[in-house]
Chain A
Amino acid sequence: MDLNTIGEIARPKRLDKAIDWRDGDAWLAGGTWLFSEQQPHLRRLIDLEGLEWQSLVVNDRGLEIGATCRIAQLAALDAPADWTAAPVIGQCCRSFLSSWKIWKTASVGGNVCMSLPAGPMISLTTALEGKCTILQRDGTERQVAVEKFVTGNNKNVLKPGELLRRIELPASALRKRTSFRRMSLTHLGRSAALLVGTLSPQDGVFMLTVSAATDRPHRLEFPGVPAADELAAKLKQEIPQFFDDVHGTPAYRKHITFHFAEEIRRELSGNKP
């Protein structure tokens, strides 16, 4: 929709001092969320498109996703053959409520910065142990794990004027075995719960990421695949509260989370789910 209070678009080629952050500014990546709601508090959009950040870098260390990388680009990634976790990328990309037409415009960084419970890029990058690089106001960078980056429903650690620059997924995580479960109240709709389990072929570490069912992502870690009651006990302890909105009641989300967690546990322990 039209954002009628916007009086100016800044289209920098580089992020230098020329861009002084002020009240009423917003970073514009894909714009698919910004333009989907009234933003009467905003006066200026700073377009990140001209910065021409590299979308995807595949190297020995893993996958580097530029914050402005489009969802469609990520979904089309031609992953190295030994990245056994690569299917989770597609599974998470397909977990958007929005249409594939919007994936061409929407950015991975935008989804993470929106920090909504059902943000599937949050699920993906938490499960694959992603690290966010944040560009600070003074031009320096700091790093924070994705699960620490998102602090609540629509809340994260970014301070005004800070910018998510990139997310790195380590190769070790991309080489894990994975198991994916998702539930939505409508077909292909917004997630009520999205769980990803990973199992390291190297050290046997089992991780379970719970997202969408909670206001922020949770990643539980075990030295090996836990017993059923051990997993349930830890879930109970780590996640005291489940998220409440029109896409699922807390009781339902809790129920589905425990159900999927056990399915994933069984799948990754080699048993049939």
Chain B
Amino acid sequence: MSYLVNGKAFSEVPRPGQCLRTFLRDIGWFGVKKGCDAGDCGACTVWLDDEPVHSCLIPAFRAEGRRVTTIEGLASNGELHPMQRAFMNAAGFQCGFCTAGMIMTAASLNEEDRKDLPRVMKGNLCRCTGYHAIEDAIHGVKSIGEDLPGKACGADLLAPAAEGVVTGTARYTLDTKVEGLLHLKLLRSPHAHARILAIRKDAALAVPGVRAVYTWEDVPRRLYTSATHDDYHADPNDMYMLDNVARFVGQRVAAVVAESEGAAEEGCRRLEVDYQVLPAVFDPEEAMKDGAPVIQDKSAESRIRRPGQNILLEIHGDVGDVEKGFAEADVIHEGTYTTHRVQHAHLETHCSITWLDEKHRLHVRTSSQTPHITKQKLCYLFDLYPDSVRVFCERVGGGFGGKQEVLTEDICAFATLKTGRPVKLEFTREEQFIASTTRHPMRVNMKVGARRDGTLTAFQMRVVSNTGAYGNHGGETLYAACGEAVAVYRCPNKKVDGYTVYTNMVPSGAIRGYGMTQTIFAVECAMDELARNLKIDPFELRRINMVKPGDQMIAESAAATDTEFGSYGLDQCLDLVQQAMVRGNGVKRPEGADWLEGKGIAISMHGAVPPTEHRSEARLGLGDDGYYHLAIGTAEFGNGTTTVHRQIVASVLGSTASRVRVIQSDTDSTGYDTGAFASAGTVVAGNAVRLASDALRERILDFASKTYGVTRDSCRLEHDAVTYSNTRVPLADFFAAARKQGRQLEVVRKAYGTPRSVTFQVQGFRIAVNRITGEIAILQSVHGADGGVIINPMQCRAQVEGAIAQAIGWTLFEKMVFDDGGRMINPTFRNYRIPAFADAPRRTEVYFADTNDAFGPLGAKSMSEAPIYPIAPALANALTDATGIRFFDSSLTPDRIFQRIFESSQPSKA
């Protein structure tokens, strides 16, 4: 037998049931990725005899004697394939996990195919980009700008990982061969609520290759939370690594460790578990009632406010007097808005590899947004000294908040500590759906009142959030939900009540939008209703009521905060979007009398830094190669912070971004960082980078002045040299001179996420909806963003486009559906459809406000998370404009649109 891959012959033999994808990885071709392992996402696309195929669906034995080409084999004679070059030129990726498959597909297309990209690219899913940059790449559009000395800020520079991504050589978490690796698989609960009476391991342990089985009796009986925040008090300690109570379908019951994945799977199937099934509750309103099953019967140390009522946290606050406010109102809108359960769907599933080195130090290679906090958590769980644990990330294949959570590292590390062997845990796509985290479904009762002139007189909101079986981010997301969505409007009388409630559902967690997409949906729909009732233009209604510089930002309390207007661009965003929508784009609705047309807008405000403690440390130095070396703890998962950090350094030091090398997300070689979430990468870590850059510049000039005996003023730092009085010292020589004197040209600076500024978004849609089929066609999509000074406009625009596509997916297509027993019925990409090429509006007009922030680095503000907020309500408002019917639920699939139109056409029985 012989397999020919990228021109090389391999004599390895695949297992009988092995698919080509894992066989190729086994023999070292790590460019072949797994997004779904079921043929839906295309990340594993390779060529078989020059024809693209999804290698996860191809029995490996069928490749025998045929030519296999992976992304690593696409370049020839050291020259990139034109499509690889094109993906670089257009920056056609963010996290890059889908890119190999994307390029292998795109590179196989002929001229005719390229005319119908929605069809030919539909088998390749990208969760990050929204497909605009991918379309540009395939059509040969060049978006990247030049990297000129001192001109880095504001330049469209390419991510430093680009070449590695397009050649398949960028290493992600599992792209490594580890000798002696054990595989861990988890047996998961089939019941939504059950006590585990007994687990018999014998049959599992008898499976050849099974090395160990762990149950709740084997792991430390120590409460913790999967959420990762610097201050762990922010989240409830309500879970055990393995527990004797299962609280949702999919919860870990036991771990099997074996020499192969197959043996570990078989071990899981052979475990015999006796369950005592307990009553379960899935609806949070039901869960709060007397007599409901108590899900988390914990003591005060878990920090659950009312465990007996299943209430993790409640918030009650008011300013002014809402009753008085409603009495003054000419128009009142009341409505109950609901948001459904959706997921991140990053293409790289959760995964870790853990091992011990010869000094018995624990190494954790993981797909995480928070390596430093994950390390702390592992130290806590296993009573380890901080210096005996290292957590690091290679490139991370997407996160969207899902990786601000410890879901694999704990049990994987436990198995390594027990066995002394390297252990790998890789989630399947199904586990991703049933056993990671989701957005919090929320029910929001809105009541708003306004005077005839549009001025708000009263604003009342009651939020019930479903955190599922565990509390993790349930508390913090409720604070977020009750924050900026309320504070963006001025109103003397406000009242907010919020509850986060346990149910026997899969846990909710951190996800782009963090509690706010849900309430912003409710608030912005309610504001639209006021505008419609008052016959005031929706832009105008916002202008009348939105917060402005000089106002205090007040949600449910008028207490002083650290949030300030470091800059303000909401007014500009509204103007930009309104102008673009008035201008139009010439796209007409589909022909036929059944197509109705409507416009809708929504706005949002977002704290530029998360409210809980946030800090980062940057270490920056000049290296012997004459390059700047930056070490920063934050992780890169497609958010583009690495690109931005290089641009900040280059900008301050008058150099080019290409002269800045970055080490990141490794607790051994970078200083403490609270994590890459809430868009903190640009603002907090970016501020640390800026402070370090300023300090290094001073240090270099000081040193030059002393060494060369000239005044400071006569020394200049140029992009690749230090100059003084007609002498030019290349940076490498300058480094050598310093070294000779025993001096290190390195600085460390820390930054803190306070005071906090705010960013703004405005989204406008013009849509057509078919009143018969319920289909929606997006005719125009306009987004106004206030991100302060935009350090990399191309990249920032791409973040906005990606957020819009993700929100469109959540609103128009995606929905996690569960049966009566709390079991998810669609845990695959074919049944939980994230937007494919054809589904995303690839031509959103993105406009940036011209602002300069007082707190962010170089005047920048955060801009990765926030564009997601106004999308769903803007769509819903456009739908209302088209049909005259209000849609109160955030899931707007054609069948639900039809249902609502149908219901509304029935004569009222009243």
A contact set with B: CB distance below 8 Å: 1-9, 28, 30-32, 35-37, 40, 42, 45, 47, 49, 94, 97-102, 104-105, 183, 185-190, 192, 245-249, 251-253, 255-256, 259
User: Would you give 12 A-B contacts (Cβ < 8 Å), ordered by A?
Assistant: A5-B266, A31-B58, A36-B40, A99-B39, A99-B123, A100-B123, A101-B52, A183-B773, A185-B813, A187-B838, A189-B836, A252-B898
Residues of B within 8 A of A32 (CB): 39, 57
Residue of B nearest to A190 (CB): B830
Q: Given contacts A189-B833, A246-B815, are A2 and B262 in contact (CB under 8 A)?
A: yes
Distance in angstroms between the alpha carbons of A40 and B266 in the assembled complex: 9
Whole-angstrom distance from the CB of B327 to the nearest CB of chain A? 42
Which single member of B22, B57, B773 contacts A102 (CB below 8 Å)? B57
Pairs A-B, 3 closest by C-beta atoms: A99-B123, A6-B17, A4-B262
B54 touches A102 (CB 8 A): yes
A98 touches B839 (CB 8 A): no
Query: A-B pairs with CB below 8 Å: how many?
Result: 154
Q: Given contacts A188-B119, A256-B773, are A1 and B19 in contact (CB under 8 A)?
A: yes
Residues of B within 8 A of A248 (CB): 895
Whole-angstrom distance from the CB of B300 to the nearest CB of chain A? 42
A2 touches B836 (CB 8 A): no
Whole-angstrom distance from the CB of A250 to the nearest CB of chain B? 9
| Residue B893, interface by CB 8 Å | yes
A100 touches B833 (CB 8 A): no
Residues of A within 8 A of B119 (CB): 94, 100, 188
Distance in angstroms between the alpha carbons of A245 and B819 in the assembled complex: 11
A2 touches B902 (CB 8 A): no
B261 touches A2 (CB 8 A): yes
Interface centre among A4, A32, A40, A249 (most CB of B within 10 A): A4
Whole-angstrom distance from the CB of A142 to the nearest CB of chain B? 30
Residue of A nearest to B834 (CB): A186
A185 touches B57 (CB 8 A): no
Residues of A within 8 A of B261 (CB): 2, 4
Which single member of B39, B62, B895 contacts A249 (CB below 8 Å)? B895
Q: Given contacts A102-B123, A187-B838, A248-B895, are A45 and B42 in contact (CB under 8 A)?
A: no
B265 touches A49 (CB 8 A): no
Q: How many residues of B contact A (CB 8 A)?
A: 62
Residues of A within 8 A of B39 (CB): 32, 35-36, 98-99, 102
**Residues 1 to 47 of chain B near chain A (Cβ within 8 Å):** 15-19, 21-22, 37-40, 42, 45
Whole-angstrom distance from the CB of B348 to the nearest CB of chain A? 16
Residue of A nearest to B840 (CB): A187
Whole-angstrom distance from the CB of A15 to the nearest CB of chain B? 19
Distance in angstroms between the alpha carbons of A138 and B37 in the assembled complex: 37
Q: Given contacts A104-B53, A105-B58, A187-B838, are A2 and B15 in contact (CB under 8 A)?
A: yes
Residues of B within 8 A of A4 (CB): 15, 17, 260-262, 265-266
Which single member of B40, B120, B894 contacts A100 (CB below 8 Å)? B120
Whole-angstrom distance from the CB of B781 to the nearest CB of chain A? 15
Whole-angstrom distance from the CB of A22 to the nearest CB of chain B? 16
Interface centre among B59, B775, B813 (most CB of A within 10 A): B59
Distance in angstroms between the alpha carbons of A101 and B21 in the assembled complex: 15
Residue of B nearest to A184 (CB): B894
Whole-angstrom distance from the CB of A32 to the nearest CB of chain B? 5
Interface centre among A2, A94, A190, A247 (most CB of B within 10 A): A2
Residues of A within 8 A of B57 (CB): 30-32, 35-36, 102, 105
Distance in angstroms between the alpha carbons of A247 and B814 in the assembled complex: 11
Residues of B within 8 A of A99 (CB): 39, 42, 54, 122-124
Q: Given contacts A35-B57, A35-B58, A94-B119, are A45 and B17 in contact (CB under 8 A)?
A: yes
Distance in angstroms between the alpha carbons of A32 and B15 in the assembled complex: 18
A185 touches B895 (CB 8 A): yes
Q: Given contacts A2-B22, A190-B830, A249-B899, are A185 and B894 in contact (CB under 8 A)?
A: yes
Distance in angstroms between the alpha carbons of A186 and B45 in the assembled complex: 23
A8 touches B52 (CB 8 A): no
| Residue B793, interface by CB 8 Å | no
B772 touches A259 (CB 8 A): yes
Report B45-85 CB contacts with A as 1/0, cut-off 8 Å.
10000011110111101100000000000000000000000
Interface centre among B51, B57, B899 (most CB of A within 10 A): B57
Residues of A within 8 A of B37 (CB): 1
Distance in angstroms between the alpha carbons of A248 and B898 in the assembled complex: 11
Distance in angstroms between the alpha carbons of A188 and B15 in the assembled complex: 35
A186 touches B836 (CB 8 A): yes
B45 touches A101 (CB 8 A): yes
Q: Given contacts A102-B39, A251-B899, are A8 and B58 in contact (CB under 8 A)?
A: no
Residues of B within 8 A of A37 (CB): 38
B266 touches A186 (CB 8 A): no
B16 touches A6 (CB 8 A): yes
A192 touches B52 (CB 8 A): no
